[in-house]
Amino acid sequence: MEITCYRDPEIKREKRTLPATTYNLAIQLFARCGAKSLFIPIRSMQYLAIIDREEFVFVDGERKCWVDIAWQNFHSHERESLDQPVEYEAVYYKEDQTETMLRLQREFPLALYALTAKQAPHDPAKVIKFQPKHSTSHS
């Protein structure tokens, strides 16, 4: 799937932190998808999150291809351990996005977990035991 997104001029930029579990899960799902971008529907908000190597962008279902908020410049390399939060910059392309940002921080991790549940294997693994071959020795 391919989507072309557009951006209005940047209105505001602020430093924020993302919990390690959310960042790690997003990056893990992105790496597993094997594509240039990963699409994550946030159904409760009618938003679409798009993850690529450089940023997470959030597109409102009503505005279709217009980015409302982008999370950029992740400083994951500055962490001393994988359980530390990741600093990033939130970039706003639309006025009055405070409430939307609060909801995204709450709903985005839930959407990640929902996607993970869909990708998880549903059948238990089975181990097939093979009988070793008996070798016959010729003396």
35-77: pLDDT as tens digits: 888 999 999 999 999 999 999 999 998 888 899 999 999 998 8
pLDDT of the residue at 13 = 96
CB atoms within 10 A of CB 43: 12
Taking alpha carbons only, the member of 76, 101, 85, 86 closest to residue 13 is 101
- Asked whether residue 25 is domain-assigned, the answer is yes
Q: Band the pLDDT of 124: cuts 50, 70, 90.
A: low
- Asked whether residue 132 is domain-assigned, the answer is no
- Asked whether residue 138 is domain-assigned, the answer is no
pLDDT of the residue at 132 = 72
Cβ atoms 107, 44 nearer than 8 A: yes
Integer angstrom CA distances of residue 102 from 5, 69, 93: 22, 12, 16
Segments forming the whole domain that contains residue 97: 12-119
**What is the layout of strands, in order, in the sheet containing 38-42?**
12-18, 86-92, 67-72, 55-60, 47-51, 38-42
Average pLDDT over residues 74-98: 92
User: CA–CA separation, 72 vs 54, rounded Å?
Assistant: 7
What the block records as the tokens of 60 is: 């409102």
Amino acid at 136: T
- Asked whether residue 103 is domain-assigned, the answer is yes
Q: Band the pLDDT of 136: cuts 50, 70, 90.
A: low
User: CA–CA separation, 53 vs 81, rounded Å?
Assistant: 21
- What pTM was computed for the model? 0.81
- 98-119 and 20-33 are packed helices; what angle lies between their axes, rounded to 10 degrees? 50
- Asked whether residue 27 is domain-assigned, the answer is yes
Confidence check: pLDDT of 26 > 70: yes
User: CA–CA separation, 18 vs 20, rounded Å?
Assistant: 6
pLDDT of the residue at 2 = 76
- Asked whether residue 129 is domain-assigned, the answer is no
Q: How many helices (H) and strands (E) does the chain have?
A: 2, 6
pLDDT of the residue at 116 = 87
Average pLDDT over residues 5-22: 95
- Asked whether residue 58 is domain-assigned, the answer is yes
- Proportion of the chain above pLDDT 70, given as a percent: 86
Number of domains in the chain: 1
- Asked whether residue 130 is domain-assigned, the answer is no
Helix (H, G, I), strand (E, B) or coil at 82: coil
Average pLDDT over residues 10-32: 94
Confidence check: pLDDT of 123 > 90: no
